[in-house]
Structure 1
Amino acid sequence: MELRIGCRLPLEEPVPGFTRHRIAGKVVKGQPLGGTDDEWVVIEPVYRAIELAEQLHDDAGDGVLLFGRFAFSVRYRWFRNWVNSQAGQRLGLAPIPAGPVNLRMLRRNSALEMAYRPGGVLATKIHLKHIAVATTEGYASRPGGAQAELLAEVNKYESERNLDLVLAEFRNYQQGILPAGPGARSLTEFFASVDAKLEPAAASAPRTQRSDRDVLNLLTKRAETLHVGPANFCWFTDPSRALCLKLAGTPTADRPLVGMCDSARCPQATHHPCHRPVWVEHAERTKTFLGDLGKTRKTERARLQHDYDRALRVVAEIDAAATDPSDKDSA
C-alpha cells in the first residue's frame, strides 16, 4: 500500500548472469509518523507486475501511490471471478480454485519458502523487517514447517555421515589399524564381534554377509551413539560413564557435552588417525607457550607441561595403534 509510481530501482548485476531486482518503499509499522524509507530485493515477476501496474494507472505521475489503501479480500474475489469467467477462459487463463486467500497467508508462505534455504531464518528476518529473529522463528518453526524440515534433513545427513565413519573405522580394524584412547578396547571388541558374524564359518545360513549394506546393518546401532568431536570420537553408549556429564553435574542428559570432552580420560572416547594432526598441532602450540613462559610462572608452566605430555602421549598411542602388525613382522 506504500508503493508509489517509480518505486522500481535500476537493475543491478552484482555477478555476471545474475540480475538483482529492487523496489523502494516505506516501512510504517513501528516507525515514526510518515514511515521510514527502505528497499526490498524481489523476484523478477514482482518487478514486472509493478511495471504493468504503473502502465495501467490512471495517474502515472512520479510519487503517486501505486495502489493506495484497498481491501485485499474484495479485490482478490473480483480478480478470481474474472479469471474464472468466460473472459478469462478466452484468454487461456488457468482457473483459480475456491478457498480463502489473504495477505497474511502470503507472508507466512514467503517466510516458510525462504527458511528452507541456507541461512534462511536470518534472510527472512531481514526481508520481512522483523525486529527480533524470535518473530521470524515463530513464522517458520511451526510443526511441519521449514525449521522442522531443515532439522530432519540435517539429522538424515548426520546419520549417513556417522555410518560412513563407522564403516571406515571398521575397515581400518580389518586392516590392523586399531583405535586408541580410553574407549578403544570397547570399540575393538565390538568390531571383533561384527567381524566374526561376517566369517563364512560362523554364518548360521548358507548366505554370507559381505556387502557394505550388510555390514552397515550390523554397524547401525553403534553409529547412532557416535558424536564427532574436533579431536576424538565419542561413543555415547552409557550416560553414567560420560566424563563430561559428570563434570557438568548432568548425569541424566541424553547427549554428551562435546565441548567439555576430556577424551584422554573419558572411557567412551577414542582417537583415530584422522585426529592425529589436531593433537600434533596442539602439542606444537603448547610447546611454544612453554618456551615463552618466564621462570616465575611455575603454576602455569606445570599446567602447560601436563597438557604437552598428554598430547604427546595421545599422538604416540595413535601411532602405535595405527601400525599394522604385519609390517612389524616383516621388518
Structure 2
Amino acid sequence: MGIVHSRNNPLPPVLMELRIGCRRPPEESVPGLTRYRIASKIVKGQPLGGTDDEWVVIDPVYRAIELLEQLHDAPDEGSLLIGRFSFNVRFKWFKNWANSEAGLRLGLLPIPEGPVNLRMLRRSLSLEMAYRPGGVLATKIHMKHIAVATTEGYASRPGGAQAELLAEVNKHESERNLQLVLEEFRNYQEGILPAGPGARSLTEFFAGIDAQLDAASAAAPKTQRNDRDVLNLLTKRAKVLHLGPANYCWFTDPSRALCLKLAGTPTADRPLIGMCDSARCPQATHHPGHRPVWAEHADRTKVFIGQLGTTRKTERTRLQADLDRALRVVAEIDAASDTRNEESS
C-alpha cells in the first residue's frame, strides 16, 4: 500500500525488477511536502524486457529501499536489488530470527506458528483496502486489474470470489462500527463528549442508553452489565455509522444529510463521504481521534496563506475561511474533551 501512483501507468512495479540506484532524488514542491519516486519496469502486458516507468511512494518505502541497497552483497549500480526469491524460505528465515534471542532483545513480538503465504497476505491487503473510501479503485490498482469493471464484475457472480470478499468485508465493517460506537459511549461515560453539529443528537442518544442501563441496574442490583448488553443497545446506531477522513457520519435521516442536498440526491440510502462538509452537516461529529487531521489541515493552510502574494486576495479570503473553520473544529474538540477535567475539578 506504499505505492501511490505511476507517472504513465497505475500498475505497481514488480519488486523483482527494482535495481540499485532506482531511488530518484526527493523533490520538495512546497515546504514540508516531499515527494519520493522510484524507477522500475512494468512487465505485465508489456513487450519482452518490460517498459521503464517511475512511481511515487511514501517515505517508509523509500527508506526501506535505501536500507536494502546498503545491505546488498554487491551494490553495483544497476544490479538487481532483490531478484528472484522464494517467499516461503525467506519468511521461515525471518520468523526464526524474530523468535530468537536477537529478536527478543529488539523487542519484537514472537510470530505464532501457522501457515503464511502470499495469497493470504494478498487477501488481508484486499480486506484492509476495502475498509476505506474508494476501496474498489484502490483494489483495482494494487491487485493489477486492467479495469475497474474487472474488480466490480466479481460481485455479480453468486458465490464468486468478489461476492465472498464483500460479504466478509461487510461482516468486519459491522463489527468495527460496533466497537467504535462502544468506545465513544465509554468516552461519553468518562466525560469525553463529541463535538460538531451532530454532537447534541449523539449525546442525547448516549444519555438514553445510559439511563436504560441505570434502570436495569436499579431493578437488579446484583447484575453487572457487560459489553455484550451494551452492544445490543448500540447495534441500531452502529448500522448508520459511516467513517469520513476527519469525522463520523451518523446517517440517521437522509433528508438532513448535507452531502445529498448538495448532490441533488435526497433519497439516496448512503452518504456521499467525498462531499462531506462535517463542519456544517447536522449528522456529523468530531472526536479526539480526528483532532490531528484538522490540526494538520490548519497548519498546512497557514503555510499556503503565507506563500500567497499581496494581489491574490480571492484565494487569501477563501483559504482564511478554511483556516478559521479548521481552527474552530479543533477548538470544539478540545472544549468537548476538557469536559471531564472541568467536572473533576
| Interval containing the TM-score (normalised by the shorter chain) | 0.5 to 0.7
| Partner secondary structure for residue 13 of structure 1 | coil
Match of 1:297 in 2: 312
User: Take 2:294 and 2:160, find their aligned partners in 1: how far apart are those partners?
Assistant: 41
Q: Does 1:241 align with 2:256?
A: yes
The equivalent of 1:165 in structure 2 is 180
Counterpart Cα distance in 1 of 2:224 and 2:327? 40
Distance 1:266 1:139 in 2: 35
Pick one of 226, 242, 250 that aligns with 1:227.
Answer: 242
Equivalent positions of 1:1-331 (< 5 A) are: 13-15=85-87, 17=89, 134=149, 141-200=156-215, 208=223, 210-325=225-340, 327-328=341-342, 331=345
Cα deviation for residue 328 of structure 1 reads 2.5
* CA distance in structure 2 between the partners assigned to 1:138 and 1:290 by the alignment: 45
**Structure 1 residues 317 and 117: alpha-carbon distance in aligned structure 2, compared to 1, 3 A threshold:** closer
Partners in 1 of 2:223 and 2:241 — Cα distance? 27
1:195/1:289 CA distance change after superposition, 3 Å: same
CA contact (8 A) 1:233 1:269 kept: yes
1:302 Cα deviation after fit: 0.6
**Alpha-carbon deviation of 1:200?**
4.4
Cα distance change on mapping 1:207 and 1:156 into 2, 3 Å:
farther
Matches of 1:185 and 1:224, distance apart in 2: 19
Q: TM-score, normalised by structure 2?
A: 0.58
1:234–1:269 contact (8 Å) kept in structure 2: yes
Amino acid at match of 2:89: G
Are residues 131 and 164 of structure 1, via their aligned partners in 2, closer, same or farther at CA, if it must alter by over 3 Å? closer
**Identity %, equivalent residues:** 75
Q: Is the 8 A contact 2:154 2:163 kept in 1?
A: no
Name the CA shift for 1:197/1:309 in 2 (closer, same or farther; >3 Å): same
Cα shift at 1:146: 1.2
What is the match of residue 7 of structure 2?
none
The CA RMSD over aligned residues, in Å, is 3.4
Please tell me whether the aligned partners of residues 198 and 209 of structure 1 are also in contact (alpha carbons under 8 angstroms). Answer: no
Distance in 2 between residues matched to 1:134 and 1:16, nearest whole Å: 33
CA shift in 2, pair 1:273/1:139, >3 Å: closer
Residue 144 of structure 1: CA displacement? Answer: 1.6
What TM-score do you get using the length of structure 1 for normalisation? 0.60
Deviation at 1:313, TM superposition (A): 0.5
- 1:324 is displaced (CA, Å) by 3.4
What CA distance in whole angstroms lies between the structure 2 residues aligned with 1:321 and 1:288? 27
User: Structure 1 residue 206: deviation in Å?
Assistant: 6.9
**Structure 1 residue ranges without an equivalent (≥5):** 1-11, 20-112
Q: Is contact 1:198–1:210 with CA below 8 Å preserved after alignment?
A: yes
Q: Distance in 1 between the 2:289 and 2:273 partners?
A: 17
Which residue identity does 1:147 align to in structure 2?
A: Q
1:222-272, Cα deviation, whole Å (9 max, x unpaired): 000000001000000000000000000000000000010000000000000
| Cα drift, residue 116 of structure 1 | 6.7
The one-letter amino acid paired with 1:310 is R
AA in 1 matched with 2:163 = A
- Residue 148 of structure 1 deviates from its aligned partner by 1.0
Contact 1:242 1:267 in 2 (8 A): yes
